[in-house]
Structure 1
Amino acid sequence: MTVSTVSMERATATQVKPKIGCQLIVFAQREEEDLRGVLAAVREAGFDGVETHILQEGNAAAVRTALDEFGLVQWSLAIGYHQCVDGINQVIDYAKGLGSKFIMVSGVGDHQTRSLRAYETAADLFNRLGARCRTAGVTFCYHNHSWEFQEYDGVTGLERLYELTDPDLVKACVDVFWVQHSGRDPVQFLQQYHDRIGYVHLKDLRYVGPEPRRKGILAGGLDLGPRRYATIMTEAEFRELGTGEVNFPGIWEVLRPLNSPWVVYEQDRATLPPAEAAAISRRYLQNTLGI
């Protein structure tokens, strides 16, 4: 089924603009010390809500009070794999206390022993956690990086994870930076998995390494072992939206007919002051994509 077909099927109602969230990672953990200052900057930039990790030592009431003060909502809660294993009940309670719609996990365990088996083990866990989250009224989803696109006997880790998880229980938080970084086309990837999308991380990339890296880190033979992230960041930069190489107009053409209620801006690092970087990205979404 093509996206255009899906678009026609879903276009029975008037298309609405999504809300725009800001992943607070761009503030480089300043939110831990000055949550209200960060939220004020997010609100001033024009965002509707946030995605965060667990803040205020797990005091959801304190975080929600701060969000309410600035007219923001918590769209998603970001966690690591270890929190799925060791504390999912506390995570769910915290997410519900914030009013979060999503719990988003990245990673499938020990990066040093990555194999298809790691994805298969994670898939079994994620199905169980997805069912538990759904019962609690929260949606569980998985966030990709580029290393999930490494192939094992012709199958990528991400493909196996999607294959073995129930799409009603485990949604996809598609990070377009990392899709492009893997050598794939984010537009084509979103078309292929449109029915799996929970929401999307809009994140821009600019290559700064050798030209062959533009074909993707996997084609370039980059070691995906424990030191991979440091190596990756010598060859690609996180950029404000619209200042890198990701095809956001094409991405928006795929997302628009899906009527996704939210999209989230994310920028893992910024050379500009974080509030300025966030404001530039928000203006790009408004002025160029009309959202």
Structure 2
Amino acid sequence: MNQSRRLFLQQSAAVGLASMLPFKTASAETSLPIGVQLYTVQDELKKDAAATLKSLAKIGYREVESFPLQTVSPADLRKMLDDAGLKCPSAHLFFGLSETDKLLDQANTLGAHYVVSSILLPNPVQADQLSKVLDIIKTFTLDDFKKIAVKANEIGAQAKKAGLQYAYHNHNFEFRDYDGHTGYEILLSETDPSLVKFELDCGWMTTAGRNPIDYFTKYPGRYPLMHAKDFPADTPVNTVIGVDPKHPPTEIGSGHIAYKPIIAAAEKSGLQHIFVEQDPPIAGMTSLEAVAISYKALRPIV
């Protein structure tokens, strides 16, 4: 075989192999698409939900994570998502405030696989107590986290029967120190790994003084979901729930969290979905402009 023919065959084989591998560039879709938590663009959704979802798709998003929309039913949202070419693999739901079976039905209507607690309380609350939820969380004890772990296992079992997977989403308050222990370690140790997965919110975990890489590394298989959220570099470490108005969340790349090593560790741990999230209100731009900035910052490193 002459040299030119040998070179042609080698190059052809290389091109064929490359076409079968995830292609990680700033513009090409990879095996791990970037999603967005719809809570971030709630202001736009209230104005025109269908148009907002199509705008997200134009930015490059291929997935969304839902949160309860009071003005749009799950069935209508599913149709809008289908029309926009978006998938909804994960749904945030208010477990403990509505019947679990009804919430799971909503998730199935959306086509979700994961059902996630934004916040899970140890004891039932009445409607007139909802405004006091943050105050209730500030009084949590380690025993409260043990109760939450029991509830998480129960929800996980119900979700499994419905063909779904339950996951717990962290904020910063789970990392409050109780004489050398945290509520988060109780949730990890006292929940059934097959029934309870976790959605690691990198922004809140970092703000609590913890490193997401440590958790992805130590607990492989427990983190199929991740929130990408950023905070200003001068944000102080704290474990008190609630957005600090002096240090509000910002767009990915505009804060201090280095996502390249985090995502590398997360993928090794079994991460399946990344969702951009930024707590409103968003200053100086629209929420769609903010999530576009975050997408452009993440796309080259995912």
SS of the aligned residue for 1:64 comes to: helix
Which of these residues, 249, 258, 267, is aligned with residue 238 of structure 1? 249
- What residue identity is the alignment partner of 1:257? K
Map of 1:18 onto structure 2 = 32
> Where does 1:1-291 land on structure 2 (aligned, <5 Å)?
17-55=31-69, 59-83=73-97, 86-109=98-121, 110-208=136-234, 213=236, 216-218=237-239, 224=240, 228-230=241-243, 232-234=244-246, 236-269=247-280, 270-271=282-283, 272-287=285-300, 289=301, 291=302
Give the gaps of 5 or more residues in structure 1.
1-12, 219-223
Give the gaps of 5 or more residues in structure 2.
1-19, 23-29, 122-135
Find the aligned partners of 1:147 and 1:117 in 2 and give their Cα distance: 15
Summarize the Cα distance change of 1:238–1:121 in structure 2 as closer, same or farther, 3 Å threshold: same
Query: What CA RMSD, in Å, does the superposition of the two structures yield over aligned residues?
Result: 2.1
Find the aligned partners of 1:206 and 1:55 in 2 and give their Cα distance: 29
Map of 2:131 onto structure 1 = none
In our comparison, the structure showing a higher alpha carbon Rg is 2
Superposed CA offset, 1:222-256 (max 9, x none): xx3xxx525x332x231111121111011022023
Summarize the Cα distance change of 1:171–1:259 in structure 2 as closer, same or farther, 3 Å threshold: closer
- What residue identity is the alignment partner of 1:22? V
Superposed CA offset, 1:236-277 (max 9, x none): 231111121111011022023345332111111322211111
Deviation of 1:207 (Å): 3.8
Find the aligned partners of 2:257 and 2:159 in 1 and give their Cα distance: 32
SS of the aligned residue for 1:113 comes to: coil
Greater Cα shift, 162-171 or 24-33: 24-33
Greater Cα shift, 243-252 or 101-110: 101-110
Deviation of 1:154 (Å): 1.6
**What is the count of residue pairs matched by the alignment?**
260
Higher RCO structure, 1 or 2 (CA under 8 Å, sep 6+)? 1
Superposed CA offset, 1:177-210 (max 9, x none): 011100112222322223311211111111445x
SS of the aligned residue for 1:204 comes to: coil
TM-score (norm 1): 0.83
Deviation of 1:37 (Å): 1.8
Find the aligned partners of 2:152 and 2:39 in 1 and give their Cα distance: 24
> Could you tell me whether the CA contact under 8 Å between 2:223 and 2:269 is conserved in 1?
no
Find the aligned partners of 1:129 and 1:23 in 2 and give their Cα distance: 22
> Could you tell me whether the CA contact under 8 Å between 1:56 and 1:63 is conserved in 2?
no
Superposed CA offset, 1:156-183 (max 9, x none): 0111111111011110100000111001
- What residue identity is the alignment partner of 2:171? H
Deviation of 1:113 (Å): 3.1
Residue identity over aligned pairs, in percent, reads 28
Deviation of 1:122 (Å): 1.1
> Could you tell me whether the CA contact under 8 Å between 2:221 and 2:270 is conserved in 1?
no
TM-score (norm 2): 0.80
SS of the aligned residue for 1:196 comes to: coil
Superposed CA offset, 1:89-129 (max 9, x none): 11000000110111110223231431111111111111011
